[in-house]
């Protein structure tokens, strides 16, 4: 039972480059989420999806794009990475939106 996985686990990129972080879950959960975790800010919601082809903004969506063509996948794209997007990114999934299960995270560094 793989649960929820994220790839890559570590990524270093340069300012202005496009980066896509992948999230895959095997539970067929309806809801999926992307958070970023920074020192002093805890976990902040970037985007979430209630079902395939349905996405909505969270607290800090600027500079990010998401899509959800399949229930099990929820990729997060930084179209033009900036240094302020250096962070640890967590994906989560949930049956109903409240009880959320998190992936292992992707540590992204933007130089």
65 binds another protein (CB under 8 A): no
Asked whether 1 and 99 are in contact (CB, 8 A), the reply is no
Question: Please, are residues 68 and 55 in contact by the beta-carbon 8 Å criterion?
Answer: yes
Rounded Cα gap, residues 69 and 65, in angstroms: 13
Residue entry with tokens 């299960």: 101
27: contact with another protein by CB under 8 A: no
38 lies in the site for another protein, by CB under 8 A: no
* Nearest-approach distance from CB 46 to another protein, in angstroms: 11
Site residues for another protein per CB under 8 A = 33, 40-45, 48, 50, 56, 58, 90, 92, 96-105
């Amino acid at each position: 039972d793989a649960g929820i996985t994220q790839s890559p686990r570590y990524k270093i990129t340069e300012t202005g480059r496009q980066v896509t972080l992948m999230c895959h879950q095997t539970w067929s959960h309806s809801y999926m989420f992307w958070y970023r975790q920074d020192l002093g800010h805890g976990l902040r919601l970037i985007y979430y999806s209630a079902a395939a082809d349905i996405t909505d903004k969270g607290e800090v969506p600027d500079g990010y794009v998401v899509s959800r063509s399949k229930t099990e996948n929820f990729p997060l794209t930084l179209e033009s990475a900036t240094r302020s997007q250096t962070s640890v990114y967590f994906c989560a999934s949930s049956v109903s939106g409240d009880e959320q299960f998190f992936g292992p995270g992707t540590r992204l560094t933007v130089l």
